[in-house]
Amino acid sequence: MKNSKLYFIATIICMLFAVSFAAGDEFIKKYSRQGSKPKLYYPGIMVGKTYFVAGTGDGTPENSKEDYYTKTIRCISGIQRSLKLADIDLQNIVHTWVMLEDITGMKDMARAWNETFPENPPTRTTIGVANIPGDSQMEITAIAYGDLSERKIIGSEDLAYSLGVRIGTTVYFSGIGSSKPDGSQHDTFEKQSRQAMKNTESALYEAGLGFEHVVWCNIYLDRYENLEIFDNVYSEFVESGNEPARITIFVEEIPDGSHVEITCVATTDIQLRKIVRLQGMNYDSNAMETIASPGVWAGNILYLSGQYGTLHSEGITAADLETQVLQMMQNHKQVLDAAGLGFEDIVSGNVYLRNIDDYGHMNEIYQDYFIANGPGVRTCFQPNHGWTNDTAKVFSSFIMAGNRND
């Protein structure tokens, strides 16, 4: 049972954020297997023709000896149940993330993947993580699209996963590492970072795009001390003041010997791209105050950068989880206010924990933001055991849907 403090917080939140969804029920539909509104996340949400699926674990029984082939089939079956709520199926999946507690299970995972997607496979980003909630040892997050006639595969169609998939004006890209064309790695992380950015640039070019078309960028690093090096290289490719929204996640392991992996979402129509800026932040082309835009619109979809529970004006991170979650959501609210949206407009959330033992407590606090309007879909896990060199316990990023306030 929640204490009176949490009840008071929930009441205030509902008063602040209970705003009707501007785009209307015909634009966004939430699907629940039970037919009731979940407190934490929905199994799936359809926004126009795009269907967002919640992170789906394998649910392997405790002490089970099942291999990652079986775990993958379990995850895919769960995703398929969600898709069928919207009368679509596995062939409609266009974009995926695969999180494994044991990266050595990739070979078994890939075997199940190839059997599931024998042709026109979706994109895929695969990372090794520390902990998945519950009994699961892997989790898959997916995005699907209702009209396959609009789908175009970027890159070779003979691979196990597509380099990119275009649907409408949106292009999703697979996770791209730092391997050179011959499969080898450079001898320094700076060179590896530059190779990863060049590889990403080449993928964008193959789709007829550039970094100026990117709206959301997920950066995966396996060493915290490499962040500054990567940021310096990243700034060589991304125009200052025109950066995509960005999340940087420190994970346990990255496939193929890479120490960095990049996945991004881009729009083919630059006129649909609009940056959400905050007052007081310096966006001059010569300034390096930020390497990520707080949020970037692509049509009526808004992608938010990652936020910690840090009080930005003072650079202070509270010691307790509850205060960090509340401050993290307040940081997101500043961006949403500037965009003319509220928490009720969330369609997909990513929440990352320093310690998976905080999962239950975080959920108690998190659900209070959605009492009035219901949550979106969600993916949650512990990315690594080392985390970062600070006191942060949680951070998150969201994808929103609504009418732009141009």
Which pLDDT tens digit goes with each residue over 196-229? 999 999 999 999 999 999 999 999 999 999 999 9
Is 21 inside any structural domain?
Answer: no
SS3 of 6, please?
Answer: helix
Question: Is the CB of residue 140 less than 8 Å from the CB of residue 75?
Answer: yes
Q: What is the pTM of this model?
A: 0.90
Last residue of a domain, one of 254, 286, 302: 302
> Do 345 and 270 reside in the same domain of the chain?
no
What distance separates the 2 farthest-apart alpha carbons in the chain? 60
> Do 297 and 313 reside in the same domain of the chain?
no
Is 114 inside any structural domain?
Answer: yes
Domain count, the chain: 3
Q: If we measure between CA atoms, which residue out of 159, 406, 168 comes closest to residue 265?
A: 168
> Do 385 and 275 reside in the same domain of the chain?
no
Neighbours of 256 (CB within 10 A): 12
> Bridge partners of 250?
221
> Do 289 and 326 reside in the same domain of the chain?
no
Is 341 inside any structural domain?
Answer: yes
Is 244 inside any structural domain?
Answer: yes
By residue range, what is the domain housing residue 260?
Answer: 175-302
Is 264 inside any structural domain?
Answer: yes
> Do 286 and 311 reside in the same domain of the chain?
no
> Do 179 and 297 reside in the same domain of the chain?
yes
Question: Is the CB of residue 393 less than 8 Å from the CB of residue 358?
Answer: yes
> Do 290 and 218 reside in the same domain of the chain?
yes
The CATH number of the domain holding residue 377 is 3.30.1330.40
* Separation CA 247–CA 236 (nearest Å): 18
**Which pLDDT tens digit goes with each residue over 237-291?**
999 889 999 999 999 999 999 999 999 999 999 999 999 998 765 544 443 345 8
**Which pLDDT tens digit goes with each residue over 54-94?**
999 998 877 677 899 999 999 999 999 999 999 999 999 99
> Bridge partners of 37?
none
Backbone angles phi, psi at 334, to 5 degrees: -60, -40
Last residue of a domain, one of 272, 302, 332: 302
> Do 180 and 294 reside in the same domain of the chain?
yes
Q: What secondary structure does DSSP assign to 71-100, as a single string?
A: HHHHHHHHHHHHHHHTT--GGGEEEEEEEE
* Separation CA 1–CA 126 (nearest Å): 37
